[in-house]
Amino acid sequence: MAGGTELAGVIGTWFAVSLALIALFGIVTPILLIRRARSEGHIALSKIEDGSNEIVHSGIKIPFLPVIARTIHAPDLQAPPKLAGQVLGRNDNTINRNASGTSWVMFLGF
């Protein structure tokens, strides 16, 4: 059987490990979350009014803390959109044509 000092050493080691884990999850994590919630980027995300949550997703809501873990799904604006099956055209019938062909001269006169 193990001696009393060896048993006290093992118990003390596991007690120190449990205190370290409690400190890590119970103290350090909330401090990091609060610091991140007060950052400029998070404040800017919270000012965006996206009611349908299409661009800025709602994230995780924790009581007494700002919303965390928001994700942004913005469209890719580097390439032009792909218009599959759509034909772009012009409808000249909607243009209101004046009887006079010199109406642009009157516009320049003002």
Q: Output the pTM of the full model.
A: 0.42
Question: Is the distance from CB of 70 to CB of 56 less than 8 angstroms?
Answer: yes
Per-residue pLDDT, 22? 92
Q: What is the pLDDT averaged over residues 61-83? A: 77
Q: State the pLDDT confidence band at 16, using cuts at 50, 70 and 90.
A: very high
Average pLDDT over the chain reads 77
Q: State the pLDDT confidence band at 105, using cuts at 50, 70 and 90.
A: low
Per-residue pLDDT, 107? 60
| pLDDT greater than 70 at residue 48 | yes
**CA dist 107 → 92, 94, 95, 99, 104 (Å):** 21, 21, 17, 15, 5
